[in-house]
Amino acid sequence: MEPVILIASADPEEGARLRDELDRYRRDYRLEVVSSSRDAVARVADIVAAGGSVAMVLAELGRADFDGVDLLARVRTANRTVRCVLLLEWGLRGDQEDAVARALALGVVDTVLTKPTGPRDEEFHTAITEDLGEWSWTTTPVVEAVKIVAEDGRGREIHAVLDRLGVPSGVHDSDSDVGRAIAQRADRHGWRTLVEVMGATILVDPSNRDLAAAFGVTVDVASTVFDVVVVGAGPAGLGAAVYAASEGLSTLVLEAEAFGGQAGTSSMIRNYLGFPRGVTGRQLGRRALLQASGFGAVFDLARAATGLEPGSPHRLGLDDGAWAAARTVILACGVTYRRLGIAPLEALVGHGVFYGASSTEARAMRGAHVVVVGAGNSGGQAAVHLARYADRVTIAARRSSLSATMSDYLVREIEANPLIVVRTNADVVDGGGNGRLEWVEIADRTSGDRDRIAAAGLFILIGTETRTGWLPSDIVRDDHGFVLTGEAVDLAQWPLRRSPYAFETSVPGVFAAGDVRASSIKRVAAAVGEGSTTVPMVHRYLEQMPDSPTA
Is residue 474 predicted with pLDDT exceeding 90? yes
Over residues 94-116, the pLDDT tens digits come to 666 777 776 776 677 888 888 88
pLDDT of res. 551: 41
Which stretch of DSSP H or E encloses residue 134? helix 122-137
Confidence of residue 499 (pLDDT cuts 50, 70, 90): very high
Over residues 195-250, the pLDDT tens digits come to 999 888 899 999 888 888 888 778 888 889 999 999 999 999 999 999 999 999 99
Question: Is residue 551 situated within a structural domain?
Answer: no
Confidence of residue 548 (pLDDT cuts 50, 70, 90): very low
CA nearest 417: which of 400, 394, 399, 397?
A: 394
Most confident option among 119-133, 346-360, 384-398: 384-398
Q: Pairing between strand 335-337 and 464-466? A: antiparallel
pLDDT of res. 444: 94
CA nearest 304: which of 223, 209, 226, 220?
A: 209
pLDDT of res. 295: 97
Question: Is residue 220 situated within a structural domain?
Answer: no
> Do 332 and 470 reside in the same domain of the chain?
yes
Is residue 172 predicted with pLDDT exceeding 50? yes
User: Are the CB atoms for 353 and 458 separated by under 8 Å?
Assistant: yes
What angle is formed at CA 279 by the lines to CA 89 and CA 163, rounded to 5 degrees? 135
What is the number of alpha carbons within 13 Å of residue 151 lying toward its C-beta? Answer: 9
At residue 55, φ and ψ (nearest 5 deg) are -80, -40
- Domain boundary residue, one of 137, 156, 180: 137
Helix ranges, 221-311 (H)? 235-246, 281-294
Confidence of residue 194 (pLDDT cuts 50, 70, 90): very high
Confidence of residue 92 (pLDDT cuts 50, 70, 90): low
Question: Is residue 216 situated within a structural domain?
Answer: no
pTM over 0.85: no
The residue among 254 and 76 whose pLDDT is bigger is 254
Question: Is residue 211 situated within a structural domain?
Answer: no
Confidence of residue 65 (pLDDT cuts 50, 70, 90): low
Over residues 140-153, the pLDDT tens digits come to 656 788 999 987 77
Helix axes 68-78, 94-105, angle to 10 degrees: 10
Average pLDDT score over the chain: 88
- Domain boundary residue, one of 105, 137, 169: 137
Ramachandran bin of 261, using left for φ above 0, alpha for ψ from -120 to 50, beta for the remaining angles: left
pLDDT of res. 275: 82
User: Are the CB atoms for 116 and 21 separated by under 8 Å?
Assistant: yes
* Domain range enclosing 156: 146-206
> Do 189 and 78 reside in the same domain of the chain?
no
Q: Please state which of the ranges 62-71, 185-194, 211-220, 292-301 shows the lowest mean pLDDT.
A: 62-71
CA nearest 83: which of 35, 38, 153, 25?
A: 25
**CATH number of the domain to which 442 belongs:** 3.50.50.60
> Do 233 and 328 reside in the same domain of the chain?
yes
Question: Is residue 260 situated within a structural domain?
Answer: yes
pLDDT of res. 80: 81
Question: What are the beta bridge partners of residue 510?
Answer: 329
Q: List CB contacts of 304: < 8 A, sequence separation 6 or more.
A: 254, 256, 318, 319
> Do 118 and 187 reside in the same domain of the chain?
no
Look at the chain and report how many structural domains it folds into. 4
Q: Pairing between strand 298-301 and 169-172? A: unpaired
> Do 258 and 323 reside in the same domain of the chain?
yes
- Domain boundary residue, one of 120, 137, 154: 137
Q: List CB contacts of 112: < 8 A, sequence separation 6 or more.
A: 85, 86, 88, 100, 103, 104, 277
Q: Please state which of the ranges 114-123, 232-241, 368-377, 380-389 shows the lowest mean pLDDT.
A: 114-123
Cis peptide before 119 (omega within 30 of 0): no
> Do 243 and 162 reside in the same domain of the chain?
no
CA dist 42 → 47, 57, 72 (Å): 9, 13, 13
Contacts 24+ apart (CB under 8 A), 318-323: 318/221, 318/254, 319/256, 320/209, 322/221, 322/222, 323/221, 323/222
> Do 322 and 286 reside in the same domain of the chain?
yes
Q: How far apart are alpha carbons 159 and 146 in whole angstroms?
A: 9
Q: How many CB atoms lie within 10 A of CB 48?
A: 15
Question: Is residue 213 situated within a structural domain?
Answer: no
pLDDT of res. 359: 64
Question: Is residue 470 situated within a structural domain?
Answer: yes
User: Are the CB atoms for 145 and 338 separated by under 8 Å?
Assistant: no
Question: Is residue 420 situated within a structural domain?
Answer: yes
> Do 386 and 532 reside in the same domain of the chain?
no
What angle is formed at CA 334 by the lines to CA 333 and CA 336, rounded to 5 degrees? 110
**CATH number of the domain to which 87 belongs:** 3.40.50.2300
Is residue 63 predicted with pLDDT exceeding 80? no
Is residue 119 predicted with pLDDT exceeding 80? no
Q: How far apart are alpha carbons 426 and 139 in whole angstroms?
A: 33
> Do 494 and 450 reside in the same domain of the chain?
no
Most confident option among 149-163, 227-241, 535-549: 227-241
As a three-state string, the secondary structure of 151-176 is CCHHHHHHHHHHHHHCCCEEEECCCC
> Do 313 and 201 reside in the same domain of the chain?
no
> Do 155 and 166 reside in the same domain of the chain?
yes
Q: In what order do the strands lie in the sheet with 146-150?
A: 169-172, 146-150, 193-197, 201-204
> Do 185 and 328 reside in the same domain of the chain?
no
Q: What percent of the chain has pLDDT over 70?
A: 95
Q: How far apart are alpha carbons 336 and 181 in whole angstroms?
A: 38
